[in-house]
Amino acid sequence: MLHFFVKKTIIETVFGDLFFHPEELAGVTQERALSVFTNQGEDEAINDIEIGQDQHLPVIKLEQQFRLAVKLSALGSSFRCVARLLEVIREESGSEEYGNTSEAMVISTYARIVCLSPCKSCRRYWKKVWAFSIGLCCSTYRGRSYVDIRVRMYFDGKLRNYPLVELPIFERHTELIYKLFDAVFPDWKISMIGLSTDGDAKIAGSIRGVTTRLEHTLADGVLRAWSGLHQLDLVMQDVVESTFDEEFISKLAKLVGYLRRQLNSSARAGGECPEYCDVRWGSMLKVLKWLKPHRLKVQSDLIELGVAWTPEDSWWVLLHVMADVLEQAQVVFSGLQGLSMVLEEHILRLRKQVEVYCKMCPMLGPLNEHNLEQVDASSAVIGGSFLASYRAVRSFIDGYGRWFLFALDAMEKNSREKLAHSCADLFVHLADGKISKGIAERDSINDAAEETPPFCRTSSYAAICAPTS
């Protein structure tokens, strides 16, 4: 028999409230889920264990069933599937240790109990620290919204990053978080000093966002941060969407689908083409990187078969340009994930990336208004304080090789001008866009903060700021 010692407030708030839809409260589902919990002193087998009156004990009578159910759920099986697998195991083994799990509700209760473990652990660690920060990230799965909450603490000389819980959102984000922290960290309003987010409007909004409301609640203010990784991710996704029109995306989707169906063509082209997902620029990069070296083989296959939607040369040129742009962004994206990375380095790396793009397609900038007024607008694209001329774009594309040089010469004037404008607009958008303004520290209205913390790792920052008494 397994016993879990959990605070009564955590059981009632997290397990008995936040995990359930409001319509399920005080219903059969909630009642059956809470039936595994025993108040102190109610079970004779645990009367000799010293626990507080404010603790509840989830009692698992079938230990073998519980352990196996958790392992099967961790493999990705649904609750119904786990229940059926346990039934099959019980029938085949003839062992009653696996019990009767004909209902998926038993498995869902086990899953909820496992989710309580981080809450219990974080509460224990919280008592050892003078302050902590949290990270909030929203996501949607099968039409339901969730908020992932992580807790960061510094103790025993190390910065700890703990996943607290991922909660379904049935009510306002702020009310949900208030309930959670009141149960797990009673004095959180005086010990929470940091908030980091993924930039979601509901979380980081300057008026009704969760971070704004929390900041107004906390006793001594808070350091707000918006990850440079998330900012770069949003910028690159915006770049892809603004550069590729519907016609380009339509042809790309058709080409990927065609290549994945035509095994013979894929084999001649050098393996299976990656899948394409239009909501992630990382997926776009994988597809473009695969198509670049296989362009000639793919083109010859499409022309030979007389495919009506065969992409024209300008389509392939733009594909190569975007592939190189995204590859450079991927290098920075990977670098920002380093464990030794400090917040100030986010700014430096993002600004350095602008310099890389300026060298790829020779651009001028940043320029003042007087210099920009002297430029012939018909021969260049101007974005903010940066300028990319069509001549510079042509020189950049010619550098890819002879095929590209001849392809540009063979294009109609309108197609060539449209391609030059798209490429020039792409680079000035990168240079003067949000990449150069990507500052992790945010102020009370979620704009880039004017003051930044010391150039040191977060763990060192926590160590220097820790009270001595």
Distance CA 436, CA 429 (A): 10
Q: pLDDT of 133-154, one tens digit each?
A: 888 887 777 777 788 888 888 8
* pLDDT tens digits along 320-365: 999 999 999 898 888 877 666 666 777 778 778 888 888 888 888 7
CATH class of 128-227: alpha beta
pLDDT value of position 1: 65
Q: Are strands 55-60 and 2-3 parallel, antiparallel or unpaired?
A: antiparallel
State the average pLDDT over residues 38-59: 47
DSSP 3-state of 449: coil
Residue 448's pLDDT is what? Answer: 65
pLDDT at 292: 92
Q: Per-domain residue ranges for the chain? A: 2-120, 128-227, 232-432
Lowest mean pLDDT across 5-9, 246-250, 276-280, 456-460: 456-460
Structure-block tokens of residue 120: 């219990």
Most confident of 68-82, 230-244, 347-361, 385-399: 385-399
The pLDDT of residue 451 is 62
Torsion over CA: 177, 179, 184, 189 (sign):
positive
Over the chain, what is the mean pLDDT?
A: 78
Q: State the pLDDT at residue 51.
A: 42
Query: How confident is the model at residue 45, as a pLDDT?
Result: 39
Rounded percentage of the chain residues whose pLDDT exceeds 70:
77
Who's near 40: CB < 8 A, 6+ residues apart?
46, 51, 52, 53, 55, 56, 57
In the Cβ-directed half-sphere of 443, how many Cα atoms lie within 13 Å? 6
Q: How confident is the model at residue 411, as a pLDDT?
A: 92
Closest of 210, 291, 209 to residue 248, by C-alpha: 291
Provide the pLDDT for residue 103: 63
**pLDDT tens per residue, range 74-114:** 888 888 888 888 888 888 887 777 766 666 667 777 887 78
Instruction: Give the amino acid at 159.
Output: L
Q: Give the 3-state DSSP-derived string for 206-237, with helices as H, strands as E and coil as C.
A: CCCCHHHHHHHHCCCCCEEEECHHHHHHHHHH
- Determine phi and psi for 238, rounding to 5 degrees: -65, -40
At 299, phi and psi to the nearest 5? -60, -45
Residue 43: the pLDDT is 42
pLDDT of residue 189: 86
Q: First and final CA of the chain: distance in angstroms?
A: 44
Run of H or E residues at 162 = strand 158-168
Q: Which two tokens stand for residue 156?
A: 């025993």
Beta-ladder partners of 133 = 152, 194
List the structure tokens of 166: 């991922």
Q: CA of 115: how far to CAs of 6, 86, 108, 109, 110, in Å?
A: 12, 21, 11, 10, 9
pLDDT at 337: 76
Residue 10 reports pLDDT greater than 90: no
Average pLDDT over residues 61-67: 80
pLDDT for residue 267 = 44
Tell me how far the alpha carbon of residue 73 is from its chain's centroid: 23
Q: Of 442, 449, 453, whose CA–CA distance to 224 is shortest?
A: 442
How far is it, in rounded angstroms, from Cα 126 to Cα 154? Answer: 10
- What is the structure's pLDDT at 469? 46
Cβ-based neighbour number of residue 435 at 10 Å: 23
Whether the per-residue pLDDT at 56 is higher than 60: the answer is no
| pLDDT computed for residue 316 by the predictor | 94
DSSP state of 288: H
pLDDT, average across residues 221-245 = 81
Q: How far apart are CA 160 and CA 373, in angstroms?
A: 53
